[in-house]
Amino acid sequence: MDVNEFREFAKATIDYIADYHENIRDKQVLPDISPGYIKDKVPSDPPKEGEHWGNLLKDVNDVILPGLTHWQSPNFYAYYPASYSFPSVVGDLLSTGLGCVGLNWITGPAITELEVVMMDWLGKMLDIPLAFLNCSEGPGGGIIKGTASEATLVCLLAAKDKTVRRVKTLRPDLCDSDIKGKLVAYSSDHSNSSIEKAGLIGSVPMRLLLSDDEGRLNPQFLKEAIEQDLKLGLFPCYVVATLGTTGTCSFDNLQEIGPICEEFNVWLHVDAAYAGAAFVCPEYRYLKNGLEYAESFNFNAHKFMLINFDCSILWVKNAFNLINAFTVERPYLKHEYDSAPEYMHWQIPLGRRFRALKLWFMIRTYGVEGIRKYIRKQTGLINYFSEILKKDSRFEVCCKNLALLCFRVRGDDNLTKMLLNKLYERKQIYVISYTYKKNTVIRFSINSNECSEADLHFAYTEISNQVDDILNKNFIVITKEVNFKIEFDKSMELENIH
């Protein structure tokens, strides 16, 4: 493909993307296909000769689109927002189009330098402690990772390294492997699956402590668990607190957890994958009180800040904890600018993409006020939906935080399970289930930028009609007072998501 063909192909593709967004409401949110569907539509062997690019866009229509779950559809209320904005898309396109890779600083000075500045812009926007910023006097700083999972793992590995070094000074009789075999980490049983996975990959047992009724890490249980483990001769090394849990968007209390970590010299990592973006609005900042105790703090700009996947922001108070853990030198990585920041020592991969471009484009085109407006619009919509549900005595709104709420059908738990199944089968709106205070709840998250009050009325009508159907078939009338039992086929039960 020459540069002229590239121009045509790329312009046609941009038009295709713009049309996709303009017509997103016409698309059924969940696809009507089953696993393996693409095998029948794509040849089993690669083409011998190259073909014209025009065939590709046609096949995207015929082969790919029927197999997409439309995250940008206003009817997608599952999981969390697949953050999206046009300036961010263009930033990503440019990053790919320029075709540069950042290994060390010299292979892409602008890649590193812009990232350093963007991390400080974001840190200031979220009003996080100065110690986390690259521009602070101290050793703190921020870096872009691919995902929150990666951030949690990297910090666990750094905490492991730091704890081994510390214990060795106190117990010179122990070697590295003795200490590593006795490390232990903690989080709550409502933390994201990626936290447990970090423990698995990093070979540090992750104790998932029973959370309180609201899904928050219980500080008393944390303290007791640490004390218990110390008595057993183990070395507590890492605690992950969550601001905005995946299931219900609960917030762990950092003001209580922080001093415990400080007392026992344990690294506190704060996972604010979804909720962190909301701190750009001053009215949500109280939720991060106590963040000054954290050694590391992570949020996904690709969840609730108009940045396309992937872009996960990690700040650490002391970058030397990463550098000490991950630095591997080679002659081919050396260059003459010794004092330049080297993100390759803060991460697992060597190469890195130019992700700061999409942040730069989005922040400049929206401005801080534009981002606040977006977050407030989404949280305003959830309040609107909550009011609609509250006016209907068949439903109970169980919890509501940021742009997420969980609700259930009053009465027997099976009613909510049946409703979930019907919604899932009909594919008009996409929601998922969770368990809250031992009840099945429907987790409803405002995700699409396009979502409007009219879309919420559509969602409510769909939910309401399906409940009507279930109740009529089972001869049930719901009142707030009456509790009843109904039969439910257990094999139809949906899995919890976290």
Ligand X SMILES: Cc1ncc(COP(=O)(O)O)c(C=O)c1O
347 is a contact residue toward ligand X (CB under 6 A): no
Give me the least distance between CB of 251 and ligand X, in Å please.
Answer: 11
Give the long-range contacts of residues 136-140, CB within 8 A, separation 24 or more: 138/317, 138/318, 139/317, 139/318, 139/319, 139/320, 140/315, 140/316, 140/317, 140/318, 140/319
Smallest distance from the beta carbon of 301 to ligand X, in angstroms? 10
Closest to ligand X by CB, 72 or 194: 194
Residues numbered 174-213 forming contacts with ligand X, rule: CB under 6 A: 192, 194
Compute how many residues bind ligand X; rule: CB under 6 A.
Answer: 15
Nearer to ligand X, 273 or 478 (CB): 273
Nearest residue (CB) to ligand X, 246 versus 318: 246
Choose the stretch contacting ligand X; rule: CB under 6 A; options: 6-14, 239-247, 372-380, 451-459: 239-247
Closest approach of Cβ 195 to ligand X, in Å?
A: 7
Binding string, 246-275, against ligand X, x = CB under 6 A?
x------------------------x-xx-
Among 270, 306, 317, which residue's Cα sits nearest to residue 291? 270
User: Is 274 or 361 the residue whose CB approaches ligand X more closely?
Assistant: 274
Residue type, 236: P
Least distance CB 303 / ligand X (angstroms)? 7
Minimum Å distance from CB 193 to ligand X? 8
Contact between 149 and ligand X (CB under 6 A)?
yes
How far apart are CB 271 and ligand X at their closest, in Å?
A: 5
**Closer by beta carbon to ligand X, 73 or else 401:** 401
The binder of ligand X chosen from 73, 187, 300, 448 (CB under 6 A): 300
Q: What is the DSSP track for 394-417?
A: TEEEEEEETTEEEEEESS-HHHHH
Q: Does 308 bind ligand X (CB under 6 A)?
A: no
Identify which of residues 112 and 447 has a Cβ nearer to ligand X in the complex: 447
The token duo for 278 is 């909301």
Contact flag: residue 401 with ligand X (CB under 6 A): no
Residue nearer to ligand X on the CB measure, 27 or 197: 197
d(C-alpha 238, C-alpha 6), whole Å: 49
Q: How far apart are CA 148 and CA 195, in angstroms?
A: 9
Is 192 among the catalytic positions? yes
Whose CA is closest to 78, among 69, 66, 67?
69
| Interface residue with ligand X, options 147, 324, 435, 474 (CB under 6 A) | 147
Query: What is the pattern of x (binds ligand X, CB under 6 A) and - over residues 473-492?
Result: --------------------
Judged by CB under 6 A, which of 104, 218, 250, 312 binds ligand X?
312
Could you give phi then psi for residue 141, rounded to 5 degrees?
175, 170
| Piece of the chain touching ligand X by CB under 6 A; list 180-188, 241-249, 280-288, 438-446 | 241-249
How far is Cα 37 from Cα 40, in angstroms, rounded to an integer?
Answer: 6
CB atoms within 10 A of CB 348: 11
Phi and psi at 366, nearest 5°, equal -85, -35
Q: Which of the residues 45 through 84 are near ligand X (CB under 6 A)?
A: 80
User: Please, what is the end-to-end C-alpha distance for the chain in angstroms?
Assistant: 44
Return the residue of 88, 95, 242, 321 that touches ligand X, per CB under 6 A: 242
Which whole-number Å values give the CA distances from 461 to 315, 396, 454, in the listed order? 43, 16, 11
427: phi > 0 → left, psi -120 to 50 → alpha, else beta; which?
A: left
Whether 192 and 148 have beta carbons less than 8 Å apart is answered as yes
DSSP 8-state secondary structure symbol assigned to residue 493: P
All residues at 6 or more sequence positions from 153 whose CB lies less than 8 Å from its CB, including other chains: 197, 198, 201, 202, 348
Nearest approach, Cβ of residue 56 and ligand X (Å): 29
CB neighbours of 93 closer than 8 A, spacing ≥ 6?
none
Minimum CB separation of residue 308 from ligand X in Å reads: 13
Cβ-based nearer residue to ligand X, 92 or 342: 92
- Which is closer to ligand X, CB of 274 or CB of 395? 274
| DSSP assigned state of 377 | H
Closest CB 298 distance from ligand X, rounded Å: 8
Catalytic pick among 104, 134, 192, 308: 192
Which listed range, 12-20, 144-152, 214-222, 346-354, lies at the site for ligand X (CB under 6 A)?
A: 144-152
483 Cβ contact partners less than 8 Å away, ≥ 6 residues apart: 411, 412
Cα separation, 485 vs 346, whole angstroms:
55
Binding status of residue 434 toward ligand X by CB under 6 A: no
Task: Give strand ranges (E) for 210-321.
Answer: 235-242, 267-271, 296-300, 312-316
Question: Would you tell me which residues interact with ligand X (CB under 6 A)?
Answer: 80, 147-149, 192, 194, 242, 244-246, 271, 273-274, 300, 312
Question: Could you give the residue numbers annotated as active site?
Answer: 192
